[in-house]
Structure 1
Amino acid sequence: MSRRTIMIVGNGSVPEGAAAKIDAADTVIRFNDCRSVGPSGSKTDIVAVCNTGRPARSMLEGGWKTNAAVCRAKEIWSVRSAEKFSKMRAGLIEAYPDLGDFCDDYTRDFAAYAEMTGRLHRVLPAHVHEQLDRDLARFSPAPYVVPSSGMVVIAAVLSGFAKREDDVMLTGFDHVGWELHPFTAERRLVETLISQGHLRRLA
């Protein structure tokens, strides 16, 4: 079986001259509104979306469906399991009252869009998220709500989407952002996975 290059492109900074290397990859995964397009090339095979809460509603009510990168993608991945997030709702609202709509689920809307436009829709399974929480716990993160979508996708790719011989590469991951994602622990986990040879950062 031939070796594939799977490029996971976050919405953070990318190395100068990265575009050609990213566009040459066999599979390119981007996130949400794909604002990484430009300095990181244009090839987009998979768009992973945050399918709950305000980010999901904003995409669906805005111009996401006509975004050029989204239109190029062959697959849409919903990062959050509706079943898992529905179980989280009561405890989350108690701990963070301003996150009352955080677990509102828009998976069906993304699935309907994918079906209407002839592309595959996947929901990343809850067990990927749960194993990721256990892996992050090794780095004693401060209290957090959920891992970032980027980290969930990395975990999903490594737990079955990528084959043993594939080359999984990251770029656009600055590990900063919303204070209720465990970015410091995520950075440490990514560096551990790199040291173990499971993935690489695009130099």
Structure 2
Amino acid sequence: MSMSGRVIMIVGNGEVPEGAAAAIDAADLVIRFNDCRSTGKGGSKTDIVAVCNTGRPALAMLGGGRWKTSEPVRQAREIWSVRSGARFAAMRARLATTHPDLDDFCDDYTAGFESFARATGRKHRVIPAETQDRLERDLSRFEPSRYVVPSSGLVAIADILLNGASSSDHFVLAGFGHSGWVWHPFAAERRYVDALAADGRLHRLDQPISSDLPQGA
């Protein structure tokens, strides 16, 4: 039996299961991140690229032509900036004391992504600061170790569940290994996502999904 509603695939840049490409490309909406390293084994369809719009990752993406002309970015209809520039600007003084090596971490390149999106005829959106505030409150239940900010992937997941979800939508994650930069609270992030999965709010692609889930667009 089929069900109404979209299948929204959120694809991180970690390892994806064998055979994932077909399932990802069959989704109604596919969201990827930054340089979209998930393409290939993780399929090719890309509707939204969510970017880390502050610091070195943002500078690298905007600083040369490779990101702008890559196939996933060319295909995307929307660019989402994950971080609130004002929120990160407010962090700068504290980080100068606690993490002086992150002196460029709060540099805001949102305007560059907005300009690129406008010039290429696509939508640009900034995820509201309130989304990260809510996420950090929710993460506190999972006893995160000392961290700077949640990962861009987790902010995007929280945003979609809070601001972009219809009650009939089905959310599927792939490529989320919950490991990487030392100042993201990855252990707590894994527990947060596992709790969402246990509540049936989303599924991981490598875990069993209800046979009622639509298998395609």
TM-score range for the pair, normalised by the shorter chain length: over 0.9
Please, what is the CA RMSD of the aligned residues?
A: 0.9
- Return the letter of the residue paired with 1:176: S
**Higher relative contact order, structure no. (Cα contacts within 8 Å, ≥ 6 residues apart):** 2
Residue 60 of structure 2 is matched in structure 1 by: 58
Distance 1:162 1:73 in 2: 19
Q: Which amino acid aligns with 2:85?
A: A
Return the offset for 1:2: 4.0
CA shift for structure 1 position 143:
0.7
Counterpart in 1 of 2:111?
108
Q: Secondary structure at the match of 2:35?
A: coil
Q: Which residue of 1 aligns with 2:215?
A: none
Mark the runs of 5 or more structure 1 residues left unpaired by the alignment.
none
1:34 aligned residue: 36
**How far does residue 140 in structure 1 lie from its aligned partner after superposition?**
1.1
Which residue does 1:125 correspond to in 2? Answer: 128
Question: In the TM superposition, what is the alpha-carbon distance from 1:93 to its structure 2 partner?
Answer: 1.4
Partner of 1:14, secondary structure, is: coil
Residue 136 of structure 1: aligned partner: 139
Which residue number corresponds to residue 24 of structure 2? 22
Match of 2:190 in 1: 187
2: CA distance, partners of 1:202 / 1:82:
32
Equivalent-residue separation in structure 1 for 2:170 and 2:39 (angstroms): 21
SS at match of 2:87: helix
- List alignment gaps of at least 5 residues for structure 2: 207-217
Superposed CA offset, 1:10-55 (max 9, x none): 0001110000000000000000010110001000000000000000
Code of the residue aligned with 1:156 in structure 2: it is D
Q: 1:168 aligns with which of 171, 175, 189?
A: 171
Match of 1:96? 99
For 2:20 and 2:165, the matched residues in 1 are separated by: 22
| CA distance in 2 between partners of 1:84 and 1:169 (Å) | 29
* One-letter amino acid matched to 1:172: G
Match of 2:157 among 154, 159, 162: 154
What is the TM-score with the length of structure 1 in the denominator?
Answer: 0.98
What is the aligned length? 203
SS at the partner of 1:138?
helix
1:160: how far off?
A: 1.6
CA distance in 2 between partners of 1:115 and 1:182 (Å): 34
Question: Partner residue of 1:73?
Answer: 76
d(CA) in 2 for partners of 1:22 and 1:188?
24
